Structure 1
Amino acid sequence: MKHLFGNRVIRLLLGNDLLDNIAIWIRNIAVLFLVMDKTGDDPVAVSLITVAEYAPIFLFSMIGGTLADRWEPRRTMMAGGLLSAASVAAIALAVRYGAWETVFLATAVSAIVSQFSQPSSFVIIKRHLKEEQIAAATGLGQSMAAIFLIAGPVIGTAVYARLGIEASLLLVAALFLASTLLVFWLPRVPRETDAERSGGLWSDMREGVRFVLRDARLKTLLLLFALLGIGTGLIQPLDIFIVTDRLALDKEQVQWFYLVSGVGLLGGGVLAAVTAGKTRPNGHWLVAGGLGFLAVSIVVEAWSVWVPVTLVSRFLVGIAMAFMQTALSAMMIRMIDEAYVGRINGTLAPIMTGTLLAGSALAGPLLKATSLLAVFALAAGIVAVAAFCALRLKDRPSAVEAADRA
């Protein structure tokens, strides 16, 4: 890990992620509390926040990924940071004059910007990190996300309680500006000029899809993301019923299970950062074993009626989920040529998000039609199928990439 932190690019990217995470959680909590205060806890209005967060993934992910392959990534990330800061500052001004509904735009604009800046950061990682460092870098990113899953609501609530909505949003704008300043010091990644490109935007998007379809490992990876999304989507909305039905606890106690899950996610990210880069070329066995372990942990969590066993299972599920997401993301970056990083990410990201939402939508009706144990068993079975599919992965350069480099 020391050699990783000695990399200036990683330090700048981690600093950028740190400031962005603080800003995002302050914004999320501020928007949530304001909407609940203004609408009298209207669930429809609250659900619109989620729509504003996830809809841009489907609408802009492929476009953002393609443009990340065409544009210089440092400038793209800087433009995104400046746009986020300016939009949040403008919304704070609008709220001051009574137009509180504009807070939904704060979430939507940030989600749109991330569809451009995230694949751009992947391009920088691909260019400036060694192959064996990629898994460690993605693991650190996963660990930071897990830390803020635990600490983010606390930070956001404290800031909102002390500053209120307007000052909170202005602080968010300042944090986005600070993160953009860090991006300024990243090295440039040269890209082809418009005159050097053989096709337009839509041509590049089609080429990205063809790249996935003619690489057997990327198709397998797409299938893994879909199966993992459905499996985890089925159980995420039902966590509360594990606490109330299986353990016979008050619903308020679910917060402790979320805390344990967050600690597990943190541990899984750290574990992936330390070990995932050392397992090549047998990474497919590691992924398959991790998915199998996740499937077993899901079954144990649903079967248990003892709090300690359920807590341990929740912790292990968190570790397995973070480890799998990190390992698969690192494998994806290593599999593909730098010129395709944005487009491939733009193709795979909506699959994971869409199947996760689909699984969540099916969870309620399936629970009514069957039982809690049946739904968790189904989710575990889907993850187990993903484990068998993972055996088809081989963590080495694809034939297409090798041909392009020849």
Structure 2
Amino acid sequence: MPSASSAVSDSGRPVPSSLWRDSDFRRLWVGQTASQLGEQAGLVVLPLFAVLTLHAGATELGALRAMGQAPILLLSLFVGAWVDRWRTRTVMVLTDVGRTLALGAAAVAGLFGWLGLPALFVIAFAVGALSVFFDVAYQACLVRLVRRDQLVCGNSSLEGSRSAAQIGGPALGGALVSLLSAPIAAVSSALFFTLSFLSIRRIRRVESAPEDRERPSRVWRRIHEGLRFVVNDSALRTVCLASAAFQFSFAAVMTVYLLFLPRELHLSGAAVGLALAATGPGALLGSVLAARLPNRFGYGPVLVAAAALGDGVFLCVPALHGSPTVTVPALLAVNFAFGVGSQLVNVAVMAVRQTVTPDGMQGRAAATITFVGMGFSPLGSLLGGFLAEAWGLRTSLLATATGMLLSPAVMALSPLVRLGRTLPAPQNAPLTADRAKGDSG
């Protein structure tokens, strides 16, 4: 890696050899970590708010969770088009303010007894929508802050903090509700978004708006440009297909898995939670390995091997029998290995996507892959439930776990497997109609 004195960014600004010497990267890391903690804690606080304070039933609780997840499918493509035309720092700051206000309003209304389930549905949707904006923006922001040869290290750090938030956030949210009250816990979650706002707004690097100065393209046209760019790039097209295969199969697996553990293995709720929690420490290790293994073995081999390990390990679960003293340690090992493999894939795939994508297309590329991947999850969940009813839990779990191997198979049969230790240069962004008109003029 070049020394601090010789490394220069695209804008001519010297770039330190270590990302942690870059104060702007540190501010992004702190802001993203705080935001993820607030988001993960909120995923527990809002449902508990509904159950404990508003006495919501199972159907109402399911609807609340769906409202919080719906923006991923409804807004991802639009958000990708919008973020590519805005300064990412501005997007993240505004979304932090919005989430702080939304949770703060829920807390105040809850304390005074003014908050009902319809209003909580609106708040859950608003927080989910703002989180989509933040998540797309921070991925695009990293590309504008660091050199492309630093993306793996940067993503490893950011994904590591996200994994830690996934472990600690829900536990923190549950503890706050237990020790204090649901409204006060909502205030505590809002404080994390405030911390994120205070950190990200201090990013000093001037970021030019990544937009054409001609007449703006229509949103649908920009979405089409993002879709076309992903489809035409072999690496991104493979990532999209592999993501769709994984999310579809994983949703089917989890539907059966969450029935298999208590009904076939007779595990208590606490034991199920303990087994699932092992994914978090595995993801932390995966984040550390992701900063080293691709530079030694190449991105393609690491991607395929990590996906095969993380996805294939679920094939062991249908064979489990016996008492919890035997099955729980085995499940801990399975979920830990899954966390390692999946996080290796996440970090490496993000580095590939960010490297081959030009700056003005980052948001749309991220949103397109997210939209296609997550769009198949509801169908996978339906399939898992159907198979569990028709074939039984063990057989359907084996079938759906085998389906997870489609993802590494797609990567192994594509040009992605040939990626070496050096990632390719970014492709040219497609020429928009407005730019073409301006150039011809």
TM-score (norm: length of structure 1): 0.90
Residues 140 and 269 of structure 1 are in contact (CA less than 8 Å); yes or no, is this contact kept in structure 2?
yes
Matching residue of 1:285? 301
Tell me, in whole angstroms, the C-alpha distance in 2 between the residues paired with 1:244 and 1:200.
Answer: 51
Equivalent residue of 1:390, what SS?
helix
Tell me, in whole angstroms, the C-alpha distance in 1 between the residues paired with 2:259 and 2:95.
Answer: 40
Tell me, in whole angstroms, the C-alpha distance in 2 between the residues paired with 1:198 and 1:250.
Answer: 56
Matching residue of 1:219? 237
Task: Please identify, of 260-269 and 222-231, the stretch whose mean Cα deviation from structure 2 is larger.
Answer: 260-269
Residues 160 and 168 of structure 1 are in contact (CA less than 8 Å); yes or no, is this contact kept in structure 2?
yes
Q: Does 1:371 align with 2:392?
A: yes
Q: Does 1:143 align with 2:160?
A: yes
Aligned partner of 1:133 among 111, 131, 150:
150
Equivalent residue of 2:285, what SS?
helix
Q: Supply the AA of the counterpart residue of 2:400.
A: A
Alignment of 1:14-163 (within 5 A): 14-38=29-53, 40=55, 42-95=57-110, 96-101=112-117, 102-163=119-180
Indicate how the Cα distance of structure 1 residues 320 and 379 shifts in structure 2: closer, same or farther if over 3 A, else same.
farther
Residues 229 and 355 of structure 1 are in contact (CA less than 8 Å); yes or no, is this contact kept in structure 2?
yes
Unaligned segments of structure 2, at least 5 residues: 2-16, 432-441
Equivalent residue of 1:70, what SS?
coil
Indicate how the Cα distance of structure 1 residues 269 and 193 shifts in structure 2: closer, same or farther if over 3 A, else same.
closer
Tell me, in whole angstroms, the C-alpha distance in 1 between the residues paired with 2:290 and 2:47.
Answer: 32
Residues 243 and 251 of structure 1 are in contact (CA less than 8 Å); yes or no, is this contact kept in structure 2?
no
Deviation track 1:261-308 (CA, whole Å, cap 9, x = no partner) reads: 2222222222223434x157x312211112222343111122233424
Aligned partner of 2:280 among 249, 257, 262:
262
Q: Does 1:328 align with 2:343?
A: no
Cα deviation for residue 309 of structure 1 reads 3.3
Task: Please identify, of 303-312 and 320-329, the stretch whose mean Cα deviation from structure 2 is larger.
Answer: 303-312
Indicate how the Cα distance of structure 1 residues 403 and 156 shifts in structure 2: closer, same or farther if over 3 A, else same.
closer
Matching residue of 1:243? 261
TM-score (norm: length of structure 2): 0.83
Cα deviation for residue 73 of structure 1 reads 1.1
Higher helix share: 1
Matching residue of 1:271? 289
Tell me, in whole angstroms, the C-alpha distance in 2 between the residues paired with 1:51 and 1:403.
Answer: 35
| CA RMSD between the two structures | 2.6
Tell me, in whole angstroms, the C-alpha distance in 1 between the residues paired with 2:363 and 2:296.
Answer: 25
Tell me, in whole angstroms, the C-alpha distance in 2 between the residues paired with 1:40 and 1:92.
Answer: 16
Matching residue of 2:379? 358
Matched residue count: 402
Aligned partner of 1:345 among 344, 366, 378:
366
Cα deviation for residue 349 of structure 1 reads 0.7
Equivalent residue of 1:366, what SS?
helix
Tell me, in whole angstroms, the C-alpha distance in 1 between the residues paired with 2:199 and 2:208.
Answer: 19
Q: Does 1:389 align with 2:405?
A: no
Residues 210 and 359 of structure 2 are in contact (CA less than 8 Å); yes or no, is this contact kept in structure 1?
no
Tell me, in whole angstroms, the C-alpha distance in 2 between the residues paired with 1:365 and 1:403.
Answer: 42
Tell me, in whole angstroms, the C-alpha distance in 2 between the residues paired with 1:237 and 1:154.
Answer: 23
Cα deviation for residue 226 of structure 1 reads 0.3
Cα deviation for residue 39 of structure 1 reads 5.2
Task: Please identify, of 152-161 and 64-73, the stretch whose mean Cα deviation from structure 2 is larger.
Answer: 152-161
Tell me, in whole angstroms, the C-alpha distance in 1 between the residues paired with 2:44 and 2:405.
Answer: 36
Cα deviation for residue 62 of structure 1 reads 0.9
Equivalent residue of 1:189, what SS?
coil
Deviation track 1:83-130 (CA, whole Å, cap 9, x = no partner) reads: 212222223333324223223333211211122222221222112222
Cα deviation for residue 335 of structure 1 reads 1.7
Matching residue of 1:401? 428
Task: Please identify, of 183-192 and 302-311, the stretch whose mean Cα deviation from structure 2 is larger.
Answer: 302-311
Tell me, in whole angstroms, the C-alpha distance in 2 between the residues paired with 1:402 and 1:200.
Answer: 17
Q: Supply the AA of the counterpart residue of 1:302.
A: P
